[in-house]
Amino acid sequence: MNKLIIIILILIIGCFGGNFFGNFSVSANPSDVSPADNSTLSITRRISQEILSQGRPFINLQELVALGHRLTGSSGAEKAIQWAKAKMVSYGLDRVELQPVQVPHWVRGGREVARIRGQVEELPLQVTALGGSVGTGQAGVEAPVIEVQSLKEVETLGAAIQGKIVFYNRPMDISVDSFEAYDAAVDQRIDGASQAARYGAKAVLVRSLTTLAADDNPHTGVLTYERGVAQIPAAAISTHGAQLLSQSLKKDPALKVKLELSAKRLPDVRSYNVIGELTGKELPNETVVVGGHLDSWDLGVGAQDDGCGVVQSLEVLRIFKSLGLKPRRTVRVALFMVEEWGGRGGKEYARQAKRKGEKHLAAIESDQGGFEPVGFTVQNSSQALRQIQYWEKYLAPLKATQFTQGSGGTDIEPLAEATGAVAFGFVPQSKHYFDFHHSALDQLSAVNAEELHQGAAAMAVLTYLLAEKGL
Q: List active site positions.
A: 339
- Distance in angstroms (rounded) separating the CA atoms of residues 57 and 314: 8
- Distance in angstroms (rounded) separating the CA atoms of residues 435 and 378: 26
C-beta of residue 200 within 8 angstroms of C-beta of residue 160: no
**Which 8-state DSSP code applies to residue 225?**
P
- Distance in angstroms (rounded) separating the CA atoms of residues 399 and 392: 9
Cα–Cα distances in angstroms (integers) from residue 429 to residues 209, 276, 357, 405, in the given order:
18, 28, 37, 17
Nearest CA-CA partner of 396 in 45, 34, 31, 39: 45
**Cβ-proximal residues to 423 (8 Å cutoff; 6+ apart), any chain:** 362, 363, 365, 378, 379, 380, 407, 408, 409, 412, 413, 415, 416
- Distance in angstroms (rounded) separating the CA atoms of residues 454 and 467: 20
- Distance in angstroms (rounded) separating the CA atoms of residues 64 and 70: 9
Do strands 256-261 and 141-148 pair parallel, antiparallel, or not at all (unpaired)?
Answer: antiparallel
Report the amino acid identity of residue 213: A
Cis peptide before 306 (omega within 30 of 0): yes
- Distance in angstroms (rounded) separating the CA atoms of residues 20 and 37: 13
- The torsion defined by the Cα of 443, 445, 450 and 451, in degrees rounded to 10, comes to -50
Do strands 264-278 and 256-261 pair parallel, antiparallel, or not at all (unpaired)?
Answer: unpaired
The alpha carbon of 373 is separated from its chain's Cα centroid by a whole number of angstroms, namely 14
- Distance in angstroms (rounded) separating the CA atoms of residues 415 and 336: 12
Report the amino acid identity of residue 239: T
Query: Other C-beta atoms within 10 Å of 420: how many?
Result: 12
Q: Greatest CA span in the chain, whole angstroms? A: 99
Question: At 234, is the secondary structure helix, strand, or coil?
Answer: strand
* Cβ burial, residue 192 (10 Å; 0-12/13-18/19+): buried
Q: Which residues pair with 13 in a beta bridge?
A: none
- Distance in angstroms (rounded) separating the CA atoms of residues 206 and 32: 55
**Which 8-state DSSP code applies to residue 368?**
S
- Distance in angstroms (rounded) separating the CA atoms of residues 322 and 264: 45
